[in-house]
Amino acid sequence: MQSYVQIENAGMMFSTKKGTFTALTDINFNIDQGEFIALIGHSGCGKSTLLNLVAGLLDATDGVLLLANKEIKGPGPERSVVFQNHSLLPWLTAFENVYLAVEKVFGGSETKAQLKARTSAALDLVGLTHAAGKLPGEISGGMKQRVGIARALAMEPKVLLMDEPFGALDALTRAHLQDELMKIVAATKSTVIMVTHDVDEAVLLSDRIVMMTNGPAATIGEILSVDLPRPRDRLALAHDPHYHDLRSRVLEFLYSRQMRPKEAA
Amino acid sequence: MSAVNATTENLNEILSGEDIAPTPQASVAAAPTRRTPYFETESGKRLVENTLTLFKNAIPPLLGMLLFVGLWGLISHSVKNIPGPSETWTSAVALFSDPFYNNGPNDQGIGWNILNSLYRVGMGFGAAALVGIPLGFMVGRFDFLNRMLSPIISILRPVSPLAWLPIGLLVLQKAESASIWVIFISSIWPMVLNTAAGVQRIPQDYLNVARVLNLSEFKVFTKILFPAVLPYVLTGVRLSIGVAWLVIVAAEMLTGGVGIGFWVWDEWNNLNVAHIIIAIFIVGIVGLLLEQGLMLLAKRFSYE
């Protein structure tokens, strides 16, 4: 079977004032439909750059990226992004923020009532029906991030891209949203790529963890399959030796084999 | 005022029995309870606190005003021909008791003078906004245009507004249009520059959202560019209206006609110094009101 997302020999160079800077090199990686992939690595390892390549916000300087056998050229709503800092438009209400995306994707084929129903359903999915009329400035950070997720999901993307979606949240809110995300992904069977720097989050949520080496010229160091059965429960996993085994393998990669250069020096 | 109101409120509270633990009859039998002194109750403490902050906030400006009037009085005592505060006040009361009389073009009420000046500012400033804000959007959006126009703007911006007056008189032939032209040219720069800065500082995140959603140019403008830049535009507008109001007095002194600037000059020729001082206050207060009004508008459109 053909893979859904194919990344072949992808590389990314940026031209800076000091010359070219190679961020990523030799990225080879395939993702199946419905898979949940976590990208993990130290900061500056280019994991967000890789996500932006799939999103189309950056164009790869080397290699090729395919989605459903079509080359990825530029951003598009079939690859919706949940941004690190929610990126809601502060002058639009939660509803309007989601509606803007829904209207763009389905506006050509559906009536206004249908579009509104889709928007309400997306907000309902993340449990924010009561906050639909609020501006982003009036709701908490966790709620904003949920609106961001609702916006991304409402577009019914082929691939959902998440750039450290819970990084800015406190631990309790983060755990709550992780649980919700697992339920939503199970229900919608979405293909997800998530950038994270949280080992527990990676093991808990993903089917495979892509571990990146340190930059510059970062590449994939190791891919770990997380064969824990679903649905997963964070409390049960806390006592699961296999969970701890997987977790320590990621930690071992990050802290002994890919020690941050500064700390190593 | 507020202190008096608060006291009656608290009296009601005391009468309603909230502060008194048992009823007066019961207290005889019960353990000897002392009625809490008013200033130790919650509302009493709050009253004291509010009054203190009120004084703290009001004292410095009041003191400043007092000092100002005092200095003014002192100066008017020692310098001949400068009217003191009370003399000016009497003159102002007489002036404002009939603001809209009309005895021909050179003798009109103070209301007409203010309205005429505001009209010129409105015309010149409005035209500057119509040109400056779209120009600012384009300068901010297109780097080529930015690099093309920035040397011109850098040279023209520091030019004293009145230096433009002869050009206006020459081209437009009329004093009225020339003073509007001066307002236009002096108030356009803050709007161009602030709008351009706003466009350049739109967070990349918002533009990324637009790219991921594949929004049309029209949607990008109405849903992202315009609302994101609006606070910057309003800052430019606020600075511009300050400049415009500053310039109108000087322009009218030179061009004549009905207006607060001309009025000042006219009163100088009549040697009516009290009216000149009143005019200074009017210019200051109207300018303050214009700016505060726009501040309120700007607050309405800030989202952070």
Mean pLDDT, residues B124-147 taken together:
92
Structure-block tokens of residue B39: 């200033």
Predicted confidence band of residue B28 (pLDDT cuts 50, 70, 90): very low
pLDDT at res. A76: 86
Vertex B303 angle, CA A103 and B211, to 5°: 35
Structure-block tokens of residue B17: 């029995």
Residue A91 contacts B, CB cutoff 8 Å: yes
A208 forms beta bridges with: A37, A225
pLDDT at res. B79: 86
- Kindly report the backbone phi and psi dihedral angles of residue A83, in degrees, each rounded to the nearest multiple of 5, phi listed first: -80, 155
What is the rounded distance in angstroms from the CA atom of residue B163 to the CA atom of residue B154?
A: 16
Decide if B213 and A101 are in contact by the 8 Å CB cutoff: yes
Tell me if B89 sits within 8 A of B277, measured CB to CB: no
Tell me if B248 sits within 8 A of B255, measured CB to CB: no
Terminal-residue alpha carbon distance, chain B: 36
What is the rounded distance in angstroms from the CA atom of residue A213 to the CA atom of residue B224?
A: 37
Predicted confidence band of residue B283 (pLDDT cuts 50, 70, 90): very high
**If DSSP codes are grouped into helix, strand and coil, which group holds residue B100?**
coil
Between positions 178 and 207 of B, the ones with CB within 8 A of A are 205-206
Tell me if A25 sits within 8 A of A62, measured CB to CB: yes
Decide if B206 and A85 are in contact by the 8 Å CB cutoff: no
Tell me if A73 sits within 8 A of A11, measured CB to CB: no
- How far does B205 lie from chain A, in Å, by closest CA? 6
Chain B residues with CB under 8 Å of A100 CB are: 213, 215, 219, 223
Give the ipTM: 0.80
What is the rounded distance in angstroms from the CA atom of residue B236 to the CA atom of residue B242?
A: 10
Q: What is the CATH number of domain B110-300?
A: 1.10.3720.10
- How far does A76 lie from chain B, in Å, by closest CA? 5
Which parts of chain A register pLDDT below 50? Answer: 263-265
What is the rounded distance in angstroms from the CA atom of residue B167 to the CA atom of residue B182?
A: 9
The whole-model pTM stands at: 0.72
pLDDT at res. B19: 46
Pick A2 or B127 by higher pLDDT. B127
Looking at chain B, the domain(s) classified CATH 1.10.3720.10 span 110-300
What is the rounded distance in angstroms from the CA atom of residue A122 to the CA atom of residue A95?
A: 9
A19-31 and A5-16 beta bridge pairing: antiparallel
- Calculate the alpha carbon distances from B122 to A16, A149, B114, B304 in Å: 48, 47, 12, 30
What is the rounded distance in angstroms from the CA atom of residue A181 to the CA atom of residue A152?
A: 12
Mean pLDDT, residues B272-297 taken together:
90
Give kind and range of the element (H or E) at residue A73. none
pLDDT at res. A260: 59
Q: Is the pLDDT of residue B42 over 90?
A: no
Q: Is the pLDDT of residue B29 over 80?
A: no
What is the rounded distance in angstroms from the CA atom of residue B235 to the CA atom of residue B255?
A: 30
A27 forms beta bridges with: A10
What is the rounded distance in angstroms from the CA atom of residue B66 to the CA atom of residue A148?
A: 56
Q: Is the pLDDT of residue B34 over 80?
A: no
Tell me if A30 sits within 8 A of A3, measured CB to CB: yes
How deeply is B236 buried, as exposed, middle or buried, from its count of CB atoms within 10 A (0-12, 13-18, 19+)? buried
In total, chain B counts a number of residues equal to 304
Q: Is the pLDDT of residue B300 over 90?
A: no
Residue B86 contacts A, CB cutoff 8 Å: no
- Tens digits of residue pLDDT in A140-175: 988 998 899 899 988 888 899 999 988 878 888 888
* Lowest-confidence segment of A145-159, B36-50, B60-74, B263-277 by average pLDDT: B36-50
Structure-block tokens of residue B304: 């952070």
Pick B2 or B295 by higher pLDDT. B295
Pick B6 or A227 by higher pLDDT. A227
pLDDT at res. A87: 87
Predicted confidence band of residue B63 (pLDDT cuts 50, 70, 90): very high
pLDDT at res. A169: 81
Mean pLDDT, residues B244-251 taken together:
90
Which of B206, B211, B214 lies closest to A89 in CB terms? Answer: B206
What is the rounded distance in angstroms from the CA atom of residue A115 to the CA atom of residue B32?
A: 71
Vertex A17 angle, CA B206 and B212, to 5°: 20
Average pLDDT, chain B: 84
pLDDT at res. B304: 57
DSSP for A114-178, written as a single string: HHHHHHHHHHHHTT-GGGTT--GGGS-HHHHHHHHHHHHHHT--SEEEEESTTTTS-HHHHHHHH
Residue A158 contacts B, CB cutoff 8 Å: no
Structure-block tokens of residue A243: 């969970």
- Tens digits of residue pLDDT in A105-149: 898 889 999 999 999 999 988 888 999 999 998 999 889 988 998
HSE at residue B162, side-chain half, CA atoms within 13 A, is: 10
pLDDT at res. B144: 93
